[in-house]
Amino acid sequence: MLLTEEVLREALYEIISARPQGSRAVHPSALKCVRQVTFRLLDFPVKSENLDLDTFILMETGTAIHRMIQEWLKTGLPAIRAGVTFTPEVKIDEKNERAAPLLIRGSADGIIHTPVGDELLEIKTVGSNGLASLKGVRDDHVEQVNTYLYCLNILEGNVMYVSRNNTGLMKVFPIRFNPELWRTTEAKIKMAIDAAMEDRLPPTDVGPYTCRICPYDYVCARKKEWCDAEDSRSRLLGVLDPGEGEGEGP
């Protein structure tokens, strides 16, 4: 029999290895651990072995559900609400004046445009049991969504939780931009950038689950020695200021 779990796992690792490894940037979805932000800034390679088959399938299922709901909203909202439209996958890149100074890159799931203003939409998939117990936006999602709100200069948003087991089951919770939380996030990002510049590990207090699925666990947990100080510093400076180190002009 050709199709075995071992064959599936080999195919999984091949798929992950072939995907882009990301960029030296701060991603709102990874803000929970300041140390993970630092590893990404220094362009440490992601280790696909840290992602098991079950986790990969959950992630792929979540991606498929995201795309399905985005298409529904893009087509359906204008048909049922006059003057309302939906833009999916709103990029946050180096052209974003709010995000650029802090190296923030990513994409929000969408923006709902209404006659009275824009609202952010973030889609999350959860198990049916987890959905049933939800009473509001999960704590581990608040900072991510708040960062999107800041970068896109939007005051209000919605977080939609959809069951992976039955996409007809969902809950939507409102969220409003929290300036105090943003100040905390901004300080955390600056801490990660400073740590990367100085080639040191910043403190972290995340729980075991976050560490278990972290693509940089192989570096962090084993206390692996970091790359040469001058090399890592120059790599980060190249992101902060591409002209750094090129000499003074006339």
What digits encode the pLDDT tens for the residues 136-166? 999 889 999 999 999 999 999 999 999 998 8
| Residue 214 confidence class, pLDDT cut points 50, 70, 90 | confident
> Does 145 map to a domain?
yes
pLDDT tens sequence across 71-100: 999 999 999 999 999 999 999 999 999 999
Q: 217-246 in b/e burial notation, b at 16+ Cβ within 10 A?
A: bebbeeeeebeeeeebbeebeebeeeeeee
- Which CATH number fits the domain that encloses residue 192? 3.90.320.10
Query: 113 lies in a domain?
Result: yes
Q: Is residue 13 part of a domain?
A: no
**Residue 10 belongs to some domain of the structure:** no
And the tokens for 39?
A: 């590893």
Query: Does residue 4 sit within a domain?
Result: no
Residue 148 falls inside a structural domain: yes
C-alpha distances (whole Å) from 126 to each of 69, 84, 138 are 15, 28, 11
The residue with tokens 């689950």 is 209
Would you say residue 115 has pLDDT above 50? yes
Residue 12 lies in a domain: no
Exposure of 210 in the CB half-sphere (CA atoms within 13 A): 15
pTM assigned to the model: 0.81
Residue type, 146: N
**For the chain, how many structural domains are there in total?**
1
Overall average pLDDT of the 52-81 stretch:
88
- Find the domain containing 172 and state its range: 23-231
238 domain residue, yes or no: no
